[in-house]
């Protein structure tokens, strides 16, 4: 037990993942699965969806392409949230932060989804690569083929080296596997050191965690950018943006911070984390507010530079989205949910200190940044055959509830609070 003035904090507390909580999450998962099933049946029978030639390859559109595109959107989105949990955890040690000590385990718990995310990502790529990535077609690299593409041929080595272009994308798959292996390795390393600190105490584990955090952050900086190019930017193979890695990172970061904030408020509402006060909540609110503006800055930087340069091979990315009846409106939904709403609602000090405001804003931000990834993936994979329907909503609910089950299950296995953390006492007195 820890003493803070007259208060006594239970540092041995564990999250009790009750049957009622599991039932609620499973209900959402079942609803999502039903909506997904309805969407698939409608797509198979052509209900509410017309099958026309896709723009990317000029081929006939098949219903399963929409299923694959949604698998990819949710794989990338939820992988990012899990990764940001581990990233934000590492940042606390690199920055020698004390305020966040009571919620460190919440940040790290998001990483429980990473091993599953890795399996899903690799499996989806092997099943759906031709339907998601134009560059996977061998004829693009054959100079004797009428559909030969010199631009994609020039980029081929990035995917296929050291093998022949158009064969097996070993370099691409190797990067994907290496990234997930190292991300999961660092996540498990952090968990291992945390457990040792709980058992043995002392400051040596904090210093060890700081060193490992530094290694992770260097690897994260490289891997998060390259994974953004590989998994998202390469869908529109001709197009590129030099700040795309930053842009995807910003979207992941706001989503991950929203998830951490929601989880903290959820646990606080259940009577856990008594040492977390309004000042800690305020800090989380400031992070969500600040990085929502950072995301907008990057969105606008990318858009404005491409807009006023007006170079056809760059502007095509926004033209095919803005001029589309399917995707055009979602550009404005994206900006409304991810900038205007958090900016206007969280501007005041009080809004960032009250759980009700943060619960609403963070929930909307998670949906908003899913829409952001939807806009990154669907136009290049589905063209005018895309949109938001039963498949999209169902898949989002299935992934979201599955990830929640995994994260809360992981959280329930260990102590909620890092009881022997050398800066725990400092966090009790956190005041802003």
From residue 151, alpha-carbon distances to 103, 129, 155, 279 in Å are: 48, 19, 7, 53
CA 353 – CA 366 distance, rounded (Å): 19
- Contact between residue 423 and residue 23 where contact means Cβ atoms under 8 Å apart: no
pLDDT of residue 410: 96
Q: Which helix (H) or strand (E) holds 216?
A: helix 204-231
- Contact between residue 37 and residue 63 where contact means Cβ atoms under 8 Å apart: no
Greatest Cα pair distance in the chain: 82
CA 33 – CA 398 distance, rounded (Å): 6
CA 229 – CA 218 distance, rounded (Å): 18
For 173-182, what is each residue's pLDDT tens digit? 999 999 999 9
Nearest to 257 by CA among 115, 141, 368: 368
- Contact between residue 374 and residue 393 where contact means Cβ atoms under 8 Å apart: no
- Contact between residue 267 and residue 416 where contact means Cβ atoms under 8 Å apart: yes
Average pLDDT per block of 10 residues along the chain, 432 residues long: 58 93 98 97 75 50 94 98 98 96 97 98 96 95 94 94 92 98 98 95 94 98 97 96 96 98 96 94 97 98 95 94 95 97 95 93 98 97 94 98 98 93 92 85
For 249-297, what is each residue's pLDDT tens digit? 999 999 999 999 999 999 999 999 999 999 999 999 999 999 999 999 9
């Amino acid at each position: 037990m820890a003493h803070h003035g007259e208060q006594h904090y239970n540092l041995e507390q564990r999250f009790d993942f009750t049957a009622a909580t599991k039932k609620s999450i499973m209900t959402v998962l079942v609803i999502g699965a039903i909506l997904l099933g309805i969407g698939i049946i409608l797509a198979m029978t052509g209900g509410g969806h017309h099958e026309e030639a896709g723009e990317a390859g000029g081929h006939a559109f098949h219903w399963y392409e929409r299923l694959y595109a949604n698998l990819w959107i949710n794989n990338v989105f939820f992988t990012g949230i899990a990764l940001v949990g581990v990233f934000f955890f590492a940042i606390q040690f690199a920055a020698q932060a004390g305020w966040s000590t009571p919620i460190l385990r919440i940040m790290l718990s998001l990483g429980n989804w990473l091993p599953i995310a890795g399996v899903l990502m690799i499996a989806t790529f092997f099943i759906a690569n031709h339907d998601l990535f134009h560059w996977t077609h061998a004829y693009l690299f054959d100079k004797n083929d009428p559909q030969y593409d010199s631009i994609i041929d020039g980029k081929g080595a990035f995917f296929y080296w050291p093998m022949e272009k158009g064969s097996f994308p070993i370099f691409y798959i190797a990067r994907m596997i290496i990234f997930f292996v190292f991300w999961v390795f660092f996540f498990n390393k952090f968990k291992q050191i945390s457990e040792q600190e709980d058992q043995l105490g002392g400051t040596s584990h904090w210093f060890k965690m700081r060193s490992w955090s530094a290694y992770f952050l260097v690897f994260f900086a490289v891997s998060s950018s390259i994974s953004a190019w590989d998994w998202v930017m390469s869908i529109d193979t001709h197009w590129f943006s030099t700040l795309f890695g930053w842009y995807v990172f910003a979207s992941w970061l706001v989503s991950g911070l929203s998830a951490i904030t929601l989880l903290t408020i959820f646990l606080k509402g259940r009577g856990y984390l008594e040492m977390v006060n309004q000042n800690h909540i305020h800090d989380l609110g400031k992070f969500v507010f600040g990085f929502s503006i950072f995301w907008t800055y990057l969105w606008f930087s990318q858009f404005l530079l491409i807009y006023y340069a007006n170079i056809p091979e760059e502007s095509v990315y926004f033209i095919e989205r803005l001029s589309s009846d399917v995707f055009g409106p979602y550009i404005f939904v994206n900006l409304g949910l991810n900038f205007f709403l958090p900016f206007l609602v969280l501007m005041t000090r009080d809004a960032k200190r009250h759980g009700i405001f943060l619960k609403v804003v963070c929930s909307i931000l998670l949906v908003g940044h899913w829409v952001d990834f939807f806009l990154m993936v669907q136009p290049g994979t589905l063209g005018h055959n895309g949109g938001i329907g039963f498949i999209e909503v169902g898949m989002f609910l299935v992934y979201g509830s599955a990830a929640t089950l995994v994260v809360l299950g992981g959280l329930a296995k260990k102590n909620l609070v890092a009881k022997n953390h050398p800066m725990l006492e400092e966090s009790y007195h956190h005041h802003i």
